[in-house]
Structure 1
Amino acid sequence: MFETTYYEDYELNHERKTFGRTMTEGDIIVHAGQTGDFFPHHMDEEWCKTQDFKKRLVHGTLTFSVGVGLTASVINPVAMTYGYERLRFIKPVHIGDTLRTTVTITDKKDHKRPQFGIVTEHLEVTNQRGETVMVCDHLLLVEKKAGKASVETNGAAPG
């Protein structure tokens, strides 16, 4: 679904929650193959029994990918990812855990290109017990309404 949301339309403290996604052994195997991360923490159940968490861990990069991916329910044609900051893995994720992401708009600021602003979405990924497993800030580069009018008036493309 497409939904155009300009910089001015984002409201601080606005919150939305995603649906859940249960992590499977297949997820771990595919991710290990894609990334080359076959460390025993993810692949060796018997070795993991001798470690602190006692069972295999979902890759942090997979937790990040799924946590962010859950938020991608709407395509905003006037916004794009500018980057991520303050990424932290708070608790381990295991096979069978169901992840959900809460997105909260926490900041808005101007960008060096005046036709754009930066919107910060704070992502909090939780498991089925409501425990926070990962947090990060997602920065969006978002077109301003005034910037759109300026670009249309000058005939210049954003760049």
Structure 2
Amino acid sequence: MGLTYEEFKIDSRWVTQARTVTEADVSLFCGLSGDFNPLHSDTEFCAGSSFGERVAHGPLVQSIAIGLMSQLNLINGTARGLLNVNWDFRAPVRIGDTVHACVSVVSTRPAKNGAGIVTLRLLVINQTGTTVQDGTMMLLMDSASSKRELVEVRPAETQ
């Protein structure tokens, strides 16, 4: 279970594991999103572009970073909702690049109905140490008093 609103402390930091962006990731994201921009889907087109090769979709890398953060179990089961995202795309991510995220707590404040608002910053960094994306996410989080308890469910005994 993830952290409650009260457990997030300003300037707390976590580093995710790394993940390599693959050809399959980019191709699947083209199909999932319907975004077949030639910068992502056409090798010949990209050979003549400023990138020289295909690049990953910005929102794909953003999603990968959020998924990596999710693996830290910070918000799993305690996030009530995503309220806002503010994101900068600073550098291209190429197929074969490996990214990880540095997550930090920017702000916290109480909200109504036994919840709190937590703003997290994610710096997405590639294998050369370049920050490729930088963004914040504002989340509505459970508070300690409202945290959902895990309930053990047992099958009825057969007679």
Q: How many residues align?
A: 145
Q: 2:104 maps to what in 1?
A: 104
What is the SS of the residue equivalent to 1:136? strand
TM-score by length of 1: 0.84
1:101–1:125 CA contact under 8 A, matched in 2: yes
What are structure 1's unaligned runs of at least 5 residues?
150-159
Tell me whether 1:21 sits opposite 2:32 in the alignment. no
Runs of 4+ off more than 3 Å: none
TM-score by length of 2: 0.84
How far the C-alpha of 1:114 sits from its partner, in A, is: 4.8
Q: 1:49 maps to what in 2?
A: 47
2:80–2:142 CA contact under 8 A, matched in 1: no
- Aligned residues: CA RMSD: 1.7
- Matches of 2:124 and 2:84 in 1, distance apart? 14
What are structure 2's unaligned runs of at least 5 residues?
148-159
Q: 2:141 maps to what in 1?
A: 142
What is the SS of the residue equivalent to 1:70? helix
- Matches of 2:4 and 2:66 in 1, distance apart? 21
Q: 2:123 maps to what in 1?
A: 124
**Which residue identity does 1:9 align to in structure 2?**
E
- Matches of 1:136 and 1:82 in 2, distance apart? 14
Q: 2:80 maps to what in 1?
A: 80
- Matches of 1:144 and 1:77 in 2, distance apart? 12
**Which residue identity does 1:110 align to in structure 2?**
P
What is the SS of the residue equivalent to 2:35? coil
Query: Taking structure 1 as reference, are residues 140 and 41 closer, same or farther at Cα in structure 2, changes over 3 Å only?
Result: same
1:84–1:136 CA contact under 8 A, matched in 2: no
What is the SS of the residue equivalent to 1:38? coil
2:84–2:139 CA contact under 8 A, matched in 1: no
The equivalent position to 1:33 in structure 2, one of 27, 31, 38, is 31
2:86–2:137 CA contact under 8 A, matched in 1: no
Q: 2:156 maps to what in 1?
A: none
The equivalent position to 1:12 in structure 2, one of 10, 22, 26, is 10
How far the C-alpha of 1:76 sits from its partner, in A, is: 3.8
- Matches of 1:37 and 1:102 in 2, distance apart? 28
How far the C-alpha of 1:115 sits from its partner, in A, is: 1.7
Deviations 1:20-64 (CA, angstroms, capped at 9, x unpaired): 110111111111111111111011112112111111110111111
